[in-house]
Amino acid sequence: MGDFPEALRKTIKYGADRSAVLAALTTTPARLLGIDDLVGTLADGKLASFFVTDKDYFTEKATVYQHWVQGLPYASKPLDVVELADGYNVRIGQGSFTMKISGDPGSQKMKVRDANGDTTFVDAKYSTTDGLLSLSFQPKGEPGFYRLNGYPDEDGWVGYGRNPEGREVEFTASPFDDDAADDDTKDEEDDKPVEYAGRLTYPNIGLGLEPRMQQAGAYLITGATVWTNEAEGILENADLLIVDGKIAGVGPNLSNDGATVIDGSGMHVTSGVIDEHSHIALTSVNEGSQVSSAEVRMEDVVDANDENIYRQLAGGVTVSQLLHGSANPIGGQSAIIKLRWGQTADKMLFEGADGFIKFALGENVKQSNWGDLYRIRYPQTRMGVEQIFESYFSRAEEYGRAMQSGNGRRDLDLEAVLEILNEERFISCHSYQQGEINMLMQVAERHDFRVNTFTHILEGYKVADKMAEHGAAGSTFSDWWAYKYEVNEAIPYNGAIMHENGVLTAFNSDDAEMARRLNQEAAKAVLFGGVSEEDAWKFVTLNPAKMLHLDDRVGSLKVGKDADVVVWNDHPMSIYARAERTFVDGVELFNRERDAEMQEAMRDERNALIQKSLDAKEAGAPTQKPKGKQRRLLHCNSLDHAETAHAH
């Protein structure tokens, strides 16, 4: 708390508005707490809660004298304290002295020396009572003390007292302001706003955007190859119109007088890429201390400052499902976000999206290869995993009946599981092997619901017919395999085989780096299995939108849908394709030409900041070690307390 006023002054010095800082301390918290009718401002009828200072609270050396709480004063320092000048020329009888004052009002210290003799200062004791000054000091080499009493006269003091020999003397003290002038100059320098070495961006990190870059507008993309993902298919030499964050037109010869025209010649335009399984933009991914953590919510740990959001916009991604990890059979509730770079975490959440939850099967949940420290928590076998599901769904059914009868006690864990049974929340299940996939579908059918999605499923090709009959979707890796035992039988044809058997199929990343190239992952469905280009492209756009129940808003280019749009310089599944522009809700959050300018500006900014740091160090400013840890790229099995992650 002692550093708080200094931090506030520093904030203002670096450009914050005084009134905004004061509001952040008073009116804003009062409004957030719902008590702004009682406190926050000085107004008739409000509680008498305030504090008293000798000057502007945000000024250097401002002193707080009193705090009032609901009409009761609590004194920090007496209000009648006398503020002495920084120095005085003192005449005592025939002698001349120099007096120096240091410290803040109410706790100032006084030193005195003979102006014409020894240059050594000695401490003086003083007090101010009822506006009068009493002081005493013993000059160096004298056997006794000067004892003086005075009253104010203009800017100084006059009075009487006795010298060390006991004789009565007159004294006067006239302030001198040489040092004060220096201090005033220093205060003026301290209060002078600092010239910025960098830019204010949102978020305020290297790849952050300036506010002007985050404004929605009207855009007309002309003469491009447009991948609609609708019945119209791929349109050659077509236009796309964006107005008010929505797609306002798709087809040839569109016009809009107020729109910014983008020449799409030689370009391909698609809807934004959707990643069904991601762990970017999270500060934590696993709560694995118990078999079910259905009560935890990934939306509570969304990190809007993760630079991977921007990097994935550069790869055409516009929507991601942020899933809990796979440390336990029943994980946490997912967060579906739009990659609205520069917005706060709550503004990134996809409005109106259905609730999803992470389930997990396989080696992770039974803690295979985790070491001897992980042989305590149940389950330790695949059979145990099945019994966890059976137990929790049965308990959730009982919980629902109890709550309906009015005899239940709220349980957030079972409440989330009950939402699955009531088709109010949907499962995205970490899965690999056919036996476990069959098992979970059978558990679901016994409890009369359907598994929504088996995510990064790698043996889906073995049970694709059963998945189609059950109604489960399959989101898979395009060609990952052999990185641990339970994926040894994965094949690159998995996606194509599930698709041919009528399973809603997608490719997901589960990896911050892969997500930047999901367009190329889609191409592997064409290479392995001969999936048509249009259908393969849907593996990373329309199909994941359907899995997430968002296809009425995103996943294709259709009038009325959200303007999540990517402009590619080449065929979108080509290894040479680059996202040149990425729009989210009609806001151009990535522009490759602008990115090159930003990269150059960041280099200049970095050099300027380094130089300022060196100048500050040269001037005597304290140095400190960097705080915090470098950002980790999270995966299904990342644990907060572990330095290394296990295999997927």
Q: What is the DSSP code string of 190-249?
A: HHSPPPPSS---BSSSTT-B-GGGG----EEEEEEEEE-SSTT-EEEEEEEEEETTEEEE
pLDDT band at 76 (very low <50, low <70, confident <90, very high): confident
pLDDT of residue 639: 79
Q: Is the pLDDT of residue 312 over 70?
A: yes
User: Rounded mean pLDDT of 489-512?
Assistant: 97
pLDDT of residue 179: 47
3-state secondary structure of 75: strand
Q: Is the pLDDT of residue 645 over 50?
A: no
Q: How far apart are CA 133 and CA 81, in angstroms?
A: 11
pLDDT of residue 182: 46
pLDDT band at 624 (very low <50, low <70, confident <90, very high): confident
pLDDT digits (tens, 9 = 90+) for 573-616: 999 999 999 999 999 999 999 999 999 999 999 998 889 889 88
* DSSP element (H, E) containing 72: strand 72-75
User: Rounded mean pLDDT of 178-186?
Assistant: 47
On whether the CB atoms of residues 360 and 323 are closer than 8 A, the answer is: no
pLDDT digits (tens, 9 = 90+) for 510-546: 999 999 999 999 999 999 999 999 999 999 999 999 9
Q: How far apart are CA 562 and CA 501, in angstroms?
A: 31
Mean pLDDT score of the chain: 90
Q: Is the pLDDT of residue 240 over 90?
A: yes
Q: How far apart are CA 451 and CA 474, in angstroms?
A: 10
User: Rounded mean pLDDT of 301-321?
Assistant: 98
Radius of gyration of the chain (CA): 35
Q: Is the pLDDT of residue 641 over 70?
A: no
Q: Is the pLDDT of residue 225 over 70?
A: yes
End-to-end CA distance of the chain: 45
pLDDT of residue 314: 98
User: 10 Å Cβ neighbour count for 637?
Assistant: 21
pLDDT digits (tens, 9 = 90+) for 43-66: 999 999 988 887 788 887 777 878
Q: Is the pLDDT of residue 642 over 50?
A: no
**CB proximity list for 351: less than 8 A, separation 6 or greater:** none
pLDDT of residue 192: 61
- Give buried/exposed letters for 316-345 (b at 16+ CB in 10 A, else e): bbbbbbbbbbbbbbbbbbbbbbbbbbbbeb
pLDDT of residue 177: 60
Q: Are strands 473-476 and 505-507 parallel, antiparallel or unpaired?
A: parallel
φ/ψ of 370, rounded to 5, equals -90, -10
pLDDT digits (tens, 9 = 90+) for 364-404: 898 777 777 777 778 988 899 999 999 999 999 999 999 99
Q: Model pTM?
A: 0.79
Beta bridge partners of 455: 430, 475
pLDDT band at 246 (very low <50, low <70, confident <90, very high): very high
pLDDT digits (tens, 9 = 90+) for 431-468: 999 999 999 999 999 999 999 999 999 999 999 999 99
Q: How far apart are CA 285 and CA 276, in angstroms?
A: 16
More confident position, 194 or 290: 290
On whether the CB atoms of residues 558 and 251 are closer than 8 A, the answer is: no
On whether the CB atoms of residues 328 and 292 are closer than 8 A, the answer is: yes
pLDDT band at 644 (very low <50, low <70, confident <90, very high): very low
More confident position, 421 or 123: 421
Rounded percentage of the chain residues whose pLDDT exceeds 70: 93
pLDDT of residue 86: 84
In this structure, the chain runs to a length of: 648
φ/ψ of 66, rounded to 5, equals -145, 145
